[in-house]
């Protein structure tokens, strides 16, 4: 019975590129196809689309790739789908794999090259061994030939003797007698050969005394540890046997010299400044070294950019889980005279001035054990500065895959982790490893231990990514504490931390290091912030106390300045003559005289050009409306005088009867002031002011809402003068007032107050009385500015004597003909006697 199986679950699926679009604009889709045994691929057989690839570059010359990582992990990780070569390249370029696929290709090529080199080396060794065997065979043949000749010689003597017994006897005696000679001959020959051999060896060793350190390194295995040393003086290399410097290979002697130069307490040495010394630490594989397996060595080299007397390299083991670690666990070799001696190497210059900088000193034979942690210190003398670096390495087979090939166990690659504590404002975190196995991205996660050092919890504090070709990253502003750093290559099939309940979780190969920072490594800004945070309550209390003191002393200072200002007067020089317009209501003749006295005081004492209707509208031909508008527009200051009738006039509860030949201008002037205050309030407040006399009422709300400055007279004449002349003075101002004008003003105020007490109903007497049938001579209240003539009946009603009215208003009496014409009224043009205020035009 046949069973239909879905292509999604049959066989091994494959991931490849499917061409869409057209030839001019191709677009590839990354699709999952069924097993190849099901037939040819076509659009209908696509199981799933997991990405898109655009082969044409964009404006930034970039080729865009869009991938669905979740589905790719499923098909590749769980379903073991076959990935085509183009898709493999795209996944590598997109960073999907921790190691680029081209790395595998290079590794394969390198493996073939290494195999070829190994084969050539084996062939060369076999040829050399063959030559040696041939030489040995030739020597054996020579010895056999020599012995054969001796035997023939003896046989010849035996046969040639007639008497066999005698011959045999003599032959026996001759042999015994000649044996020492033969032995002597052979021995001499052997000794001569030995002498020649020794002479040849001595001749070969003689030039070594004058060779450079690189040649000595080939002759002595110890010199190979100093292969990184580079010393020059006067453009020539220094010889190792030269008296210019000496290298201390003994740790005990090196430590003794170091302690004599530094002292017993070397924990407080400052870090070297930037640009003084550059320290490099890297791993190397040591193979074919005696009867040992391949292992890892540390190559430590320091490039010095300043003149120095000595450079000391020290290694200290901090933690070693491997009991074979000699530095941490072999006490019989490390303890000398009751003291644990850590490995130490140093170079001492007899004449430092002869060494050309920069120079390099290093040692490459420190054994590195997997999972161990070391502290490497490079000290520079006489500067007495040090560079301290924590080093941790994974297992040897994790760091170098060629070692893993020997064990046939590939557990994944992990880098060497280093932390440099040389900078004061942070820590350098570096990763290192073989050049062929550097990953494109290496993640570093930092945990801080909270609480107890053994049972405290870990808290993640930082995460870094080291992108190739960078070798590290700087961690800025690190507070003191205990930290654990993990470095690993992020992969899709493993995690750094796995839950205990998840049995399928795989832990990524990683390298970790424990590190204790005794003091904060912060920048100046962070140190300031931390100091403020630690001393927050005291700092806040200090700020509050300081503010309180500043407030108290500031208040005392201001109070004292005001007290001094109250007793100090300021003399003002009135340099120019501003124009001032007085706006008031015609409440009473006494009030009008007070306004006239005020105008005189301002003119004489305040050096102001005062515009007053009493003085300017009595001239013939002057129009009140034109005069009011011109003066409000052109005057520097406008002063609004409050009087008892101001409030009733503004509320339309009172209309004053006209007692002068021109109308009252208070209401239209106030309308213009309101319009100006509404249009530009700031400019209006600096130009318009309110004057209050002793008998003035409270400021009406219609005026108070405008926010105009107010002055009380006569007490604030000085302030009013500073306002008129645009002077800003907070100190009291002394103004020399004209005493005669001031007395007249004060007397007028006294008379007005006396009249107000004597006649309580004086305002009602000023109220306008409307006639039943108004005549054409009446001045309309709605438009008082339009009136330019006064009714004669009104004039004769107010003044009993016609001549008195003529004299007051400077009018000529009408002719008798005009009177008769007006009385007759035959033409019906005029029903009452009128006097024209304006003379007739000459043209008429």
The CATH code of the domain that includes 686 is 3.40.50.11530
Cα(743)–Cα(747) distance, rounded to whole angstroms? 6
In a domain, 65, yes or no: yes
Predicted local confidence at residue 173, as pLDDT: 37
Residue 548 and residue 579 in one domain: no
- Residue 644 and residue 663: Cα distance in Å, rounded? 19
Q: Which of 459, 490, 522 is the last residue of a domain?
A: 522
Domain boundary among 709, 730, 765: 765
In a shared domain, residues 220 and 367? yes
- pLDDT tier at 456 (50, 70, 90 boundaries)? low
Instruction: Please determine, for residue 795, whether its predicted confidence score (pLDDT) is greater than 50.
Output: no
- 815-821-823-828 Cα dihedral, nearest 10 degrees: -140
At 446, list the tokens. 């930092």
Same domain, 758 and 813: no
pLDDT digits (tens, 9 = 90+) for 582-620: 999 999 999 999 999 999 999 998 889 999 998 888 776
**Residue pLDDT, tens place only, 283-341:** 888 876 666 678 888 889 999 998 888 999 999 998 888 888 888 888 888 888 888 88
1 part of a folded domain: no
Q: In this structure, is residue 171 part of a structural domain?
A: no
**Is a pLDDT exceeding 90 seen at residue 771?**
no
Position 802 pLDDT exceeds 80: no
Same domain (yes/no): 275, 322 = yes
Same domain (yes/no): 338, 249: yes
Least confident of 120-134, 173-187, 228-242, 262-276: 173-187
When the pLDDT of each residue in the chain is averaged and rounded to a whole number, the result is 77
Residues 553 and 612 in one domain: no
Dump strand ranges (E) for 240-309: 245-248, 277-286, 295-304
277 and 347 inside one domain: yes
Domain that holds residue 645: 570-765
- What share of the chain in percent tops pLDDT 90? 23
Task: Please report, to the nearest 10 degrees, the dihedral formed by the alpha carbons of residues 106, 109, 111, 117 taken in order.
Answer: -130
C-alpha to C-alpha distance for 512 and 445, rounded to whole angstroms:
10
Over range 796-808, report the average pLDDT.
53
Tell me the C-alpha distance between 719 and 726, whole Å. Answer: 10
pLDDT of res. 139: 77
Instruction: Note whether residue 358 is domain-resident.
Output: yes
Confidence (pTM): 0.43
Give me the number of domains the chain comprises.
6
Residue 477: is it exposed, middle or buried by C-beta count within 10 angstroms (0-12/13-18/19+)? Answer: middle
528-574 pLDDT, tens digit per residue, is 777 777 777 887 888 899 999 999 999 999 988 877 765 555 555 66
Could you report the per-residue pLDDT of 379-406, keeping only the tens digit for each? 998 888 888 899 998 888 888 877 777 7
Q: Are residues 513 and 559 in the same domain?
A: no
CATH number of the structural domain spanning residue 511: 2.60.40
Residue 472 and residue 418: Cα distance in Å, rounded?
9
Domain assignment present for 818: yes
Please tell me whether residues 575 and 721 are part of one structural domain. Answer: yes
Extract the tokens encoding 616: 């300017």
Residue 442 and residue 576 share a domain: no
CATH assignment of the domain containing 385: 2.60.40.10
Q: Are 592 and 553 found together in one domain?
A: no
709: pLDDT confidence band, cut at 50, 70 and 90? Answer: very high
- Of the two residues 4 and 374, the one the predictor is more confident about is 374
Q: Among all chains, which residue has been given the structure tokens 């030269």?
A: 242
The verdict on residue 221 lying in a domain is yes
Which pLDDT belongs to residue 832? Answer: 44
Determine, yes or no, domain membership for 110.
no
Looking up residue 34, the CATH number of its domain turns out to be: 3.30.1320.10
Residue 72 within a domain: yes
* Residue 469, pLDDT score: 80
The phi, psi pair for 216, rounded to 5°, reads: -65, -35
Give CA–CA dist 302/279, Å, rounded: 4
**Where a domain ends, among 567, 587, 622?**
567
One-character DSSP codes across 691-752:
EE-TT--SPPHHHHTTT--EEETTTTHHHHHHHHTT----S-EE----HHHHHHHHHHHHHH
Report the alpha-carbon distance of residue 225 to residue 284 in Å, rounded: 12
Tokens matching residue 338: 């009751």
Same domain, 723 and 640: yes
Compute CA distances 82 → 33, 88, 148, 707, whole Å: 10, 10, 75, 88
835 pLDDT tier (thresholds 50, 70, 90): very low
């Amino acid at each position: 019975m046949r069973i239909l199986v879905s292509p999604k679950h049959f066989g091994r699926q494959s991931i490849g590129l499917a061409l869409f679009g057209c030839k001019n604009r191709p677009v590839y889709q990354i699709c999952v196809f069924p097993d190849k045994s099901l037939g040819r691929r076509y659009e209908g057989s696509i199981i799933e689309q997991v990405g898109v690839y655009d082969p044409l570059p964009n404006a930034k010359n970039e080729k865009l790739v869009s991938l669905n990582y979740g589905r790719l992990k499923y098909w590749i990780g769980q379903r073991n789908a076959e990935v085509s070569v183009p898709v493999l390249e795209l996944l590598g370029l997109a960073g999907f794999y921790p190691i680029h696929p081209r790395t595998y290709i290079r590794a394969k090529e390198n493996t073939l090259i290494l195999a070829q080199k190994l084969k050539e080396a084996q062939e060369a060794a076999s040829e050399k061994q063959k030559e040696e065997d041939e030489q040995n065979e030739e020597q054996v043949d020579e010895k056999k030939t020599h012995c054969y000749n001796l035997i023939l010689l003896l046989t010849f003597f035996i046969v040639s003797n007639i008497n066999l017994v005698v011959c045999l006897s003599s032959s026996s005696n001759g042999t015994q007698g000649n044996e020492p000679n033969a032995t002597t001959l052979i021995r001499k020959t052997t000794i001569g050969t030995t002498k020649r051999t020794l002479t040849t060896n001595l001749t070969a060793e003689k030039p070594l005394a004058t060779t450079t350190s690189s040649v000595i390194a080939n002759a002595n295995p110890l010199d190979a540890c100093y292969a990184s040393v580079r010393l020059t003086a006067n453009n020539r290399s220094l010889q190792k046997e030269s008296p210019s410097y000496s290298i201390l290979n003994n740790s005990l002697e090196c430590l003794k010299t170091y302690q004599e130069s530094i002292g017993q307490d070397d924990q407080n040495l400052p870090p070297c400044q930037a640009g003084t010394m550059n320290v490099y630490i890297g791993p190397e594989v040591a193979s074919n070294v005696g009867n040992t397996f391949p292992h890892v060595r540390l190559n430590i080299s320091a490039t010095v950019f300043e003149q120095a007397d000595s450079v000391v390299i020290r290694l200290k083991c901090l933690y070693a889980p491997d009991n074979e670690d000699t530095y941490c666990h072999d006490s019989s070799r490390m303890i000398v005279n009751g003291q644990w001696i850590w490995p130490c190497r140093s170079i001492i210059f007899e004449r430092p001035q002869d060494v050309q900088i920069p120079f390099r000193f290093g040692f490459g034979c420190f054994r590195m054990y997997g999972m161990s942690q070391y502290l490497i210190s490079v000290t520079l003398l006489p500067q007495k500065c040090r560079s301290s670096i924590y080093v941790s390495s994974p297992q040897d087979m994790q760091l170098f895959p060629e070692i893993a090939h020997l064990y046939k166990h590939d557990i994944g690659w992990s880098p060497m982790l280093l932390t440099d504590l040389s900078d004061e404002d942070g820590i350098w975190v570096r990763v290192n490893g073989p050049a062929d196995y550097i990953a494109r991205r290496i993640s570093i996660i930092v945990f801080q231990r909270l609480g107890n050092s053994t049972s405290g919890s870990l808290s993640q504090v930082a995460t870094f990514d080291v992108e190739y070709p960078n070798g590290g990253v700087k961690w800025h502003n690190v507070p003191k504490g205990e930290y654990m750093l993990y470095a690993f290559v992020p992969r899709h099939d493993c995690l750094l931390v796995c839950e205990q309940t998840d049995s399928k979780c795989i832990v990524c190969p990683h390298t970790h290091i424990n590190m204790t920072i005794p003091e904060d490594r912060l920048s100046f800004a962070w140190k300031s912030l931390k100091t403020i945070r630690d001393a927050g309550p005291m700092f806040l209390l200090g700020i509050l106390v300081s503010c309180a003191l500043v407030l108290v002393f500031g208040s005392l200072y201001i109070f004292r300045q005001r007290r001094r200002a109250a007793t100090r007067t300021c003399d003002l020089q009135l340099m120019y003559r501003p124009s001032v317009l007085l706006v008031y209501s015609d409440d009473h003749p006494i009030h009008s005289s007070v306004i006239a006295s005020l105008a005189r005081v301002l003119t004489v004492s305040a050096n102001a050009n005062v515009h007053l209707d009493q003085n300017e509208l009595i001239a013939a031909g002057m129009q009140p409306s034109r005069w009011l508008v011109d003066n409000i527009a052109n005057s520097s200051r406008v002063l609004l005088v409050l009087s008892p009738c101001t409030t009733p006039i503004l509320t339309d509860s009172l209309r004053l009867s006209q007692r002068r030949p021109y109308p009252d201008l208070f209401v239209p002037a106030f309308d213009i002031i309101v319009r100006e205050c509404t249009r530009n309030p700031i400019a209006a407040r600096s130009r318009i002011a309110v004057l209050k006399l002793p008998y003035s009422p409270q400021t009406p709300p219609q005026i108070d809402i405008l926010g105009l400055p107010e002055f009380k007279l006569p007490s604030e004449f000085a302030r009013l003068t500073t306002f008129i002349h645009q002077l800003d003075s907070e100190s009291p101002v002394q103004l020399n007032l004209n005493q005669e004008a001031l007395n007249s003003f004060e007397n007028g105020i006294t008379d007005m107050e006396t009249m107000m007490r004597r006649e309580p109903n004086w305002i009602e007497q000023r109220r306008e009385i409307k006639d039943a049938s108004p005549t054409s001579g009446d001045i309309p209240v709605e438009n008082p500015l339009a009136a330019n003539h006064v009714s004669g009946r009104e004039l004769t009603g107010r003044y009993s004597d016609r001549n008195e009215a003529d004299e007051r208003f400077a009018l000529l009496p009408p002719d008798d003909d005009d009177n008769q014409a007006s009385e007759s009224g035959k033409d019906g043009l005029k029903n009452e006697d009128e006097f024209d205020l304006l003379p007739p035009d000459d043209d008429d």
